[in-house]
Structure 1
Amino acid sequence: MEEVMAAAEIADYLGVSRQRVAVLVERADFPAPVAHLSVGRIWRTSDVRVWAAKRPNRVHEDEQK
């Protein structure tokens, strides 16, 4: 079974707030969710890791504004 992440797991993985994740997942370059469940959207862990690897040190952009 493939690993998946919800917003809380993405926040923990990236080291950002859930509010920041809400902004990041709306970006055009963020991976599309693989499902919409009653608890919210979920993403493939591998997709999130690849996305984050392409953006070193840029995940926190605008978070402190």
Structure 2
Amino acid sequence: MTEGPGELMGPWEICERLNVSRSRFQQIAMRPSFPRPYQELRATKVWLKADVEAWIAEHRQPRPADDDE
């Protein structure tokens, strides 16, 4: 069995992870610092989850956990 590139994320998953709208994500994805898509499919683009998580760690403030108040 061939190993794949790792977990992938589409725009919906990234919007959910960043807690932003689709239009806001499109703005973020245009930033030079945001990772390039792993692959561009006919209907959408997909990113490597590891690349997106690394970008979040470097460029976004951590969100408090749901039980932190």
TM-score (norm 2): 0.77
Displacement after TM superposition at 1:23 (Å): 0.4
RMSD: 0.9
CA deviation vs aligned residue, 1:1-60 (integer Å, no higher than 9, x gap): 310111111000111111111001110000000100122111000100000111133xxx
2:42 maps to 1:38: yes
Q: Max radius of gyration: which structure?
A: 2
Looking at structure 1, the residues matched to 59 and 42 of structure 2 have their Cα atoms a distance apart, in angstroms, of 30
Looking at structure 2, the residues matched to 38 and 6 of structure 1 have their Cα atoms a distance apart, in angstroms, of 13
1:30 maps to a residue whose letter is F
What is the identity percentage for the equivalent residue pairs of Structure 1 and Structure 2?
33
Q: How many residues align?
A: 57
**Residue matched to 1:54:** 58
Looking at structure 2, the residues matched to 6 and 15 of structure 1 have their Cα atoms a distance apart, in angstroms, of 14
Structure 2 segments unaligned to the other structure (5+ residues): 62-69
**Residue matched to 2:26:** 22
After TM superposition, list the pairs within 5 Å mapping 1:4-19 onto structure 2. 4-19=8-23
Structure 1 segments unaligned to the other structure (5+ residues): 58-65
